[in-house]
Amino acid sequence: MSEVEVPLHRLAHSRAGDKGNRLNLSLIPYDPALYPILAEQVSEARVLALFRHRGATRCTRHDLPLLSAFNFVLDEVLEGGVNGSLNLDGHGKTHSFRLLSLTVRVPEALAPRG
Amino acid sequence: MFLLGNGAGFSGDRVDAPIPVLRTLIARGLPAAMFFETLGERTVALAHLEKRRDPALGYEPMLERLLEPILAPAHAHRIPLLGNWGAANPPAAARAVARLALAQGLPGLRIGLVEGDDVTALVAGGQLPVHEADAGLDMGAWSLIAANAYIGAEPLVEALRLGADVVVAGRTSDPALAIAPLAHHFGWRFDDWQALAVGAAAGHLLECGSQVTGGVFWDPGVKDIPDPANIGFPIAEVTAEGGLLITKAENTGGLVDLRTVKEQLLYELHDPAHYVTPDVVLDITRCTLAQEGPDRVAVRGLIGHPRPETLKVTASFEGSWLGEGEVSVAGPNALARARATADVLLERLRRRGLSVRARVDLIGVASVHDSDAGVLWRAYEGPEPPDIRIRLAVESARRDDADQAAREVLALLCCGTAGTGGARWRVTPRILTQSHLVLRERVPTRVTVREAREFAA
């Protein structure tokens, strides 16, 4: 079957939360059939690379197959967090949409139209 | 069955949100309570500073506005209201509720005051270990504002047991505000980890208000919600058998579905097997969700583990100064003018020898996702944005340096690139926080329940 490359934003949703200088990002596919594909392609290493410019030192992915969801935890990504950050978004609330800008390759049948 | 409504998810939430929640609870006619979570880590520090300026203040500034329309109907229908509105000054908040009750002709309204979360003396005396997550922070240079422990649900239950119609607390854990009315109603023991896990999950899902009913969820054209200007706040249905279902206020916007509940379930969660609260450690690794009807999602498979021996403490400190300045460019060649402006601002700070840590954002090109070094806007190769705002942010231990740095943006009105305008600048004090741990027996709480007429006296 042929594959297409699409941004995660078309396949999944996400929310960011913070505690100190640690950020968590959920990743929730709209279609549970996408869960194994995201599990394979949205690796800890890829997500860490996405936030490397911010000084992220570690990325841990917790898999929740019963909820068809992933939880990414990133350390040192908030440049000091609300304590020290000079960023307008010290809490990192906007980073869910940086994660959703990653692309993944999916079978055409699973790619949403539009 | 017991109904638990949420009326606020943070200090600054929509003040008219509690009204449809209470209306729904009354219409359903079941035993019910409402809770309000209005206390962030920094909110409590700001409240302590306000209390220093005026000993009658230092509690939630929207308290009266939130309670004014709901106090009398909640009292009439025996629906207790609980909140951590007390912030730095729970007694002052209790007096404010008492004044409101008297003004509404409710002198017999019973107010429960929960105190004891203030552990400033223990932190000042260096008696508490620093939480491992903050081990790298050195607060030696800064002056302590206050320290408060996240207390659990037990003193709140005591206030309800003594007949409180309104429970006013300071720094409670967020889920404790939800666990307390459930534990009181169902008679849960505080070592019934399974029951407490249901309460903690209800609290976690509801504590941010609309975040489980469509708030910070809606993504126009992708994840639409009905009437985002009137999102209904959440209500949990809890049964004696430990059933938990999330729904929302009737005749409101927003929605409750698997997507909204999943986003909030994972919000601010790290290890899904260990969500630590003062009352129970919640494990959601076996959790499943089911849509049981429109705006109705059942939550099953929650697991509870014994609570920790320690409570988390947040200590706040008066820190350095934040200077910020912004200016705009727009139209042809805006990107080149913005980049040049950014470089000139950083060069000015260097030439003047100002002792600051600095960052520049090009809002409209890259800002919130960027790093302090501006990696993204420097590398940007996309189309030219029509309108860019240049933001300088600096931090300094010296107020004057932060101020002088921020004023460099102002000077651009004459010295800047062609077509530079819209300058704004300001300097604000920063509040730093550091987490500690304290053994729970070192945080004795006090519960006082009295009628409004006595509190107001």
Q: Domain boundaries in chain A?
A: 3-110
pLDDT digits over B184-206, tens only? 999 999 999 999 999 999 999 99
Q: What is the DSSP letter of B408?
A: H
Q: Which is nearest to B285 in space by CA: B261, B304, B267?
A: B304
Residues making up chain B, counted from first to last: 457
pLDDT, position B298: 98
What percent of chain B lies above the pLDDT cut of 90? 92
pLDDT, position B456: 77
pLDDT, position B141: 75
Per-position b or e across B184-210, b if 16+ CB within 10 A of its CB = bbbebebebbebbbbbbbbbbbbbbbb
Q: Which residues pair with B167 in a beta bridge?
A: B82, B112
Q: Which is nearest to B86 in space by CA: B176, B170, B155, B171?
A: B170
Tokens of B264: 């909030």
How far is it, in rounded angstroms, from Cα B315 to Cα B44? 10
pLDDT digits over B247-275, tens only? 999 999 999 999 999 999 999 999 999 99
pLDDT digits over B116-129, tens only? 999 999 999 888 88
CB pairs under 8 A between A and B: 114
Per-position b or e across B367-391, b if 16+ CB within 10 A of its CB = bbbbbbebebbbebeeeebeebbbb
Which residue of chain B has the CA closest to A87?
Answer: B368
pLDDT, position A80: 75
pLDDT, position B33: 98
pLDDT digits over B307-341, tens only? 999 999 999 999 899 999 999 999 999 999 999 99
How many CA within 13 A on the CB side of residue B275?
Answer: 27
Instruction: Compute the average pLDDT of residues B10-21.
Output: 95
pLDDT, position B254: 98
Give me the residue from A26, A55, A66 closest to B287, CB to CB.
Answer: A66
- The answer to whether the CB atoms of B219 and A89 lie below 8 A apart is no
- The answer to whether the CB atoms of B270 and A84 lie below 8 A apart is no
pLDDT digits over B383-411, tens only? 999 999 999 999 999 999 999 999 999 99
Q: φ and ψ at B174, to 5 degrees?
A: -60, -50
How many CA within 13 A on the CB side of residue A26?
Answer: 26
Q: Which is nearest to B359 in space by CA: A76, A51, A80?
A: A80
To the nearest whole Å, the CA of B295 is away from the closest chain A CA by 18
Residues in A touching B290 (Cβ below 8 Å) = none
Tokens of A111: 């790619």
Residues in B touching A93 (Cβ below 8 Å) = 216
- The answer to whether the CB atoms of B371 and A71 lie below 8 A apart is no
To the nearest whole Å, the CA of B286 is away from the closest chain A CA by 7
Instruction: Compute the average pLDDT of residues B65-73.
Output: 98
Beta strand ranges found along B239-309 (DSSP E):
244-248, 275-276, 281-283, 288-293, 296-300, 303-305
B26 or B143, which is more confident? B26
Reported confidence tier of residue B442, pLDDT bands at 50, 70, 90: very high
Q: Domain boundaries in chain B?
A: 2-118+151-309+441-456, 315-435
Q: Which is nearest to B21 in space by CA: B234, B218, B291?
A: B234
- The answer to whether the CB atoms of B133 and A19 lie below 8 A apart is yes
- The answer to whether the CB atoms of B368 and A88 lie below 8 A apart is yes
To the nearest whole Å, the CA of B387 is away from the closest chain A CA by 18
Q: Is A3-110 CATH 3.40.1130? A: no
Residues in B touching A79 (Cβ below 8 Å) = 371-372
Please report, for residues A45, B343, B357, B404, B405, the alpha-carbon distance to residue B353 in angstroms, rounded to integers and kept in the order given.
40, 16, 11, 11, 10
How far is it, in rounded angstroms, from Cα B94 to Cα B116? 15
Give me the residue from A9, A13, A62 closest to B271, CB to CB.
Answer: A62
Reported confidence tier of residue A114, pLDDT bands at 50, 70, 90: low
Q: What is the DSSP letter of B305?
A: E
CATH architecture for segment(s) B315-435: 2-Layer Sandwich (3.30)
How far is it, in rounded angstroms, from Cα B205 to Cα B175? 9
How far is it, in rounded angstroms, from Cα B439 to Cα B445? 13
How far is it, in rounded angstroms, from Cα B326 to Cα B380? 20
Q: Which residues of A touch B (CB under 8 A)?
A: 9, 13-15, 17-22, 24, 26, 28, 30, 53-55, 62, 64, 66-67, 69, 71, 73, 79, 82-84, 86-89, 93-95, 98
How far is it, in rounded angstroms, from Cα A30 to Cα A12? 5
Task: Please check whether residue B194 touches A, CB under 8 A.
Answer: no
pLDDT, position A111: 87
Residues in B touching A9 (Cβ below 8 Å) = 222
Q: Counting beta carbons within 10 angstroms of the beta carbon of residue A55, is it exposed (0 to 12), middle (13 to 18) or buried (19 or more)?
A: middle
Give me the residue from A22, A82, A84 closest to B42, CB to CB.
Answer: A82
Instruction: Compute the average pLDDT of residues B415-420.
Output: 98
Tokens of B143: 């002056």
pLDDT digits over A45-104, tens only? 999 999 999 999 999 999 999 999 999 999 989 887 777 789 999 999 999 999 999 999
| Element holding B427 (H helix, E strand) | strand B421-439
Res B457 pLDDT > 80: no
**3-state SS, one letter per residue, for A76-103:** CCCCCHHHHCCCCCCCCHHHHHHHCCCE
Residues in B touching A67 (Cβ below 8 Å) = 262, 265, 284, 287-289
* C-beta of residue B223 within 8 angstroms of C-beta of residue B263: no
**Cα dihedral angle (B382, B417, B410, B346), rounded to 10 degrees?**
60
CA B205 to chain centre: 14
To the nearest whole Å, the CA of B46 is away from the closest chain A CA by 14
How far is it, in rounded angstroms, from Cα A57 to Cα B107? 57
